[in-house]
Structure formats: C-alpha cells, structure tokens
Amino acid sequence: MRLAGTTMHTSLSPHDLARARLRLLQMHFEAGVGHIGGNLSALDLLMVVHHELMRPGDAFVLSKGHSAGALYVTLWTLGRLDDEALKTFHRDDTLLAAHPPPAGLADVLFATGSLGHGLPLSCGLALSRKLRGEAGRVWCLMSDGEWNEGSNWEALIFARQQGLANLTAIVDLNGLQGFGTTAEVADLRPLATKLRDFGWEVEEVDGHDAAAVAAAGRREGAAPRAILATTTKGRGVSFMQDRMEWHYLPLTADLYEQAVREVRAASDVPSAMAG
C-alpha cells in the first residue's frame, strides 16, 4: 500500500476529472458510506489545486474535512495513494477515516472535520513562510457552511492584518449545509462583498471550470485571496445534484451503476477505466 511517493504535476483534462469522479463513486460505493455530495462538489477544486496550482514549498489544508474522500482520491490521481489504500476507506484499521487523520499521511498536515479550523491553521503556515522569507503559497479549501463559524472571521482579520498575501482560501460554494440551504440557515450572500470588506482580494468562478479555477489560483496579489467557487453538490450525478440527502446517504448498487453511467456519458470515459 503506497502512502507517499513522488508528486507528479500533470495538466488536467475532462477525462482526468471524470476518472477521479468515477474513482470517488467507486470508493464510496465499496465502503457503503455517505458524505458523497460534498465530496463531489469539492473534487474538481482539489484536482485543480493539486495538479495545477501547488508547487514545491506550498502547503494545502482541507478545512472542509468531510471532503476527505475527495482528497484521498486526488492523492490517488497523483500516485500518492494506491488502490489498496483506497479500499480501506472507512473500514476498521484504516488511516483513511471519513475525516483526515492527524498523523500517518504525509500529504495531510492537519486532522480536520470540526469546521472553522483550517483557515487559522493556514494563517499559521502562511505566517511561517512570511517570517522566514520563503516563497511558498498556502491553499485552504473551505466549505460555504463553515462560514457560520466565528473562528473564520477571526482568521480573516488576522490574515489581512499580517499581510498574508501568500494565503489563498478556496470556498466550495455548493449552497447546501447540514440541515438546509446556506440561504435558509445563515444567509451570508453576497459572501464576496463581506470578504472584500475584510480586506481580502476576491474572485468568483465556476468551481467546475478547471481552467477558470486554475487561472484564478495562479493570480497573486497584495492581500490574502479568496476564490469563491460556485459548485454543485453531487456534481455529475443527476439524482444527487443539489439534494441535501446526499450529504449523508450511501449508494445502492442500482444507483451506483446509474451514477457511473452518467459520469461516463458526460465525459466519454471508456468503461475500461481502471485505477
């Protein structure tokens, strides 16, 4: 079982994204677990960050720890985890728990899962680079629901005050949270305005447009940056899209087959796609 190796940077194609999406569906189906909706919404963003944006010296923090499955699959696409490792997802005696573990995976800097932790941690990593005069950037993937947490607003203030221009937060705006839509639960629209008022540079993109996300990520500015990426929870699977229950439900065999058919049809991935 491979848990660490050499990071490879490749250019992403729609085929690559679909291959990752299929692997994510397979992993969740085999494990018989839910949380798949928020993994599908975040997957494209994770793929872009890890394949297109991160460079040696950079760091990544998954603040929306419930998308750990999408992170594991992204690491699989990089050759950092193998199929044998993914088979242990959610099983007894695994490192690949539903939320990232505190130790054992070289690519996971922090155990997350309780929301509102990733941005302060990322501020620490970014401040470290600034104090040492190092060039690396820090990437933090956040959910939209976690903006309910006050610690994020503390971190917004801190990052601006400390001039952490090397920090980029990518927000997965899938519009759904635990027990309602983000508009119903805690309406922060327009989030972009609020973040700009805190002194951050903000770009809004289609979170499933890999080229747009990559372009926004490559831009650097004079202040901490936020990329607000509008996504679809359950992206690519018609019966999951924007349905809150897919924050929680596991897949039946029939629905799994349907999901695979849909992703393949949309991306023209041959049925012989393998790990």
Partner 1 sequence: MRNAFCAAMVAVAERPEVVFLTGDLGFMALEPLRDALGRRFINAGVAEQNMVGVAAGLARAGWRPWAYSIAPFIYARPYEQLRNDVAMHALPVTLVGNGGGYGYGVMGATHHALEDYGAVLALGGIRVLVPAFDSDVAGAVASILGQARPAYLRLGLDGAPKDFERPPFAPWRRLVAGEAATILVCGPLAGGLLGAIRDLPRERRPSLWLVSELPYGELPEAFLADVAATPHLVVVEEHVATGGVGERLARDLLLRGVAPRRFTHRHALGYPSGRYGSQAFHRRECGLDPAAILAALG
Where does this chain touch partner 1 (CB under 8 A) — which range of 157-165, 199-207, 208-216, 253-261?
157-165
| Contact between 195 and partner 1 per CB under 8 A | no
Share in percent of the chain as helix, strand, coil (round to 5): 45, 10, 45
Ramachandran class of 175: left when φ > 0, alpha when ψ lies in -120 to 50, beta otherwise? left
Query: Rounded to whole angstroms, how far apart are CA atoms 170 and 62?
Result: 10
Q: Which of residues 131-150 bind partner 1 (CB under 8 A)?
A: 131, 150
Among 92, 103, 218, 270, binds partner 1 (CB under 8 A): 103
The angle subtended at Cα 148 by Cα 146 and Cα 150, nearest 5°, is 100
Write down the least CB distance from residue 120 to partner 1, Å: 3
Q: Which is nearer to partner 1, 22 or 126 (CB)?
A: 126
Q: Which is nearer to partner 1, 86 or 109 (CB)?
A: 109
| Contact between 110 and partner 1 per CB under 8 A | yes
Among 13, 114, 193, 238, binds partner 1 (CB under 8 A): 114
Residues 6+ apart with CB under 8 A from 119: 63, 140, 142, 151, 152, 155, 156, 159, 169
What is the enclosing helix (H) or strand (E) of 204? strand 201-206
| Contact between 121 and partner 1 per CB under 8 A | yes
Query: Rounded to whole angstroms, how far apart are CA atoms 22 and 224?
Result: 34
| Contact between 224 and partner 1 per CB under 8 A | no
Among 26, 39, 122, 232, binds partner 1 (CB under 8 A): 122
Q: Which of residues 27-86 bind partner 1 (CB under 8 A)?
A: 59
Write down the least CB distance from residue 104 to partner 1, Å: 11
| Contact between 154 and partner 1 per CB under 8 A | yes
Write down the least CB distance from residue 14 to partner 1, Å: 35
Where does this chain touch partner 1 (CB under 8 A) — which range of 21-29, 118-126, 232-240, 263-271?
118-126
Query: Rounded to whole angstroms, how far apart are CA atoms 149 and 218?
Result: 28
Query: Rounded to whole angstroms, how far apart are CA atoms 122 and 156?
Result: 11
Tell the burial category of 173 from Cβ atoms under 10 Å away from its Cβ (0-12, 13-18, 19+). buried
| Contact between 102 and partner 1 per CB under 8 A | yes
Where does this chain touch partner 1 (CB under 8 A) — which range of 41-49, 82-90, 116-124, 197-205?
116-124
Residue by residue, DSSP assigns 86-115 as: HHTTTSTT-S--SS--SSS-TT--S---ST
Structural contact between residues 177 and 143, judged by C-beta atoms closer than 8 angstroms: yes
Among 125, 141, 191, 214, binds partner 1 (CB under 8 A): 125
Residues that bind partner 1 (CB under 8 A): 59, 102-103, 109-112, 114, 116-117, 119-129, 131, 150-151, 154-155, 157-158, 161-162
